[in-house]
Amino acid sequence: MRIGKWLHSYGWRVAPVAIALVVGTAPWGAYTTVGGVVAAAPVVLWCWLLARTRRTGLVVAALLIVLQAWVVVPAAMGWTGQWLVPSFGDLVTWYPWLTAGVCVVGVSVERRRAGQEPLPLGWLIAGTSAAAVALCCSGAVWYMSGTLDALPGDEGLLPMPAGLTVSAADPLCGSGGCARSIVVSGDHADARVRAHLAERGYRLRADPVWQQEFEATARHRTGVLCPHNVLLGYRASGTGSVTLIWSVDPPFS
């Protein structure tokens, strides 16, 4: 009886959080999992700290989960598309403040339904101002981090399919930033790596600009307001190995 009573009272809070954690953690890779957990935070905060009623609580939680899925799932699936597929920069800049706005609207609706006074205008102005300042600061931090001469991440390229051996080559750094390089070897490495890249959203094609260095190149573009563009160079050798070199363009380059 106690369990049933607890589920009746708190089940509507537990269910959205469980769904948000599933969306944010499985079956994505380690890099995406971190972003997914961060994206689930607004759902947890809403359900356990802000929501007061089942009806409004579930409606707002559902909207937050939809926003979370939008910033997590397309990138985790390897989809591309600037303006359509959010980047990690989007996740750490405007996404927190968008979800905060959704929560503020939810709290206002609950207060109105309960016959309470609406949120004071001063609070709304102060909250909006704080969010605008924080958005500018987080955007500046994201922009500066993207201009540093740091090595790119895995960018959905790793891990490679089972049975293939990956050897890291020396990084390539110049005035335009740094690039990572790996050599992939194994049975049918060329065909398997090409299939793997296609699954991760990298469409190889001949590029006359880079034809002296690479057999083919691919661009992987994501980002709604914060673009994240990866340039990949592909070269297969006569020994059956494949060399991949990739770099990330500086923001808004």
Helix, strand, or coil (residue 178): strand
Helix, strand, or coil (residue 174): strand
* CATH architecture of the domain formed by 165-248: 2-Layer Sandwich (3.30)
Helix, strand, or coil (residue 4): helix
Rounded CA gap, 32 and 238, in Å? 35
Residue 147 has pLDDT above 60, yes or no: no
Tell me the average pLDDT across 23-40: 78
More confident residue, 116 or 216: 216
Per DSSP (E only), the strands in 102-176 are: 165-168, 172-174
Tell me the average pLDDT across 137-141: 64
Q: How confident is the model at residue 197, as a pLDDT?
A: 95
Name the residue among 201, 199, 181, 200 with its Cα closest to residue 242.
181
Helix, strand, or coil (residue 246): strand
Mean pLDDT of the chain: 85
Residue 128 pLDDT grade (very low, low, confident, very high; cuts 50, 70, 90): low
Tell me the average pLDDT across 46-63: 93
- What is the separation, in whole angstroms, between the first and last Cα of the chain? 61
Long-range contacts of 191-197 (CB under 8 A, 24+ apart): 192/161, 192/163, 192/164, 193/160, 193/164, 193/234, 193/242, 193/244, 194/234, 196/160, 196/161, 197/157, 197/232, 197/234
Which of 18-32, 107-121, 138-152 shows the lowest mean pLDDT across its residues?
138-152
Residue 211 pLDDT grade (very low, low, confident, very high; cuts 50, 70, 90): confident
- 222 DSSP β-pair partners: 228
Per DSSP (E only), the strands in 87-174 are: 165-168, 172-174
Q: Give the domain ranges of the chain.
A: 2-147, 165-248
pLDDT tens digits for range 70-125 = 999 888 888 888 788 998 889 888 898 899 889 988 988 998 888 887 666 666 66
116 Cβ neighbours under 8 A, 6+ residues apart:
none
What the block records as the tokens of 86 is: 């959010």
pLDDT tens digits for range 183-209 = 999 999 999 999 999 999 999 999 887
Residue 148 has pLDDT above 60, yes or no: no
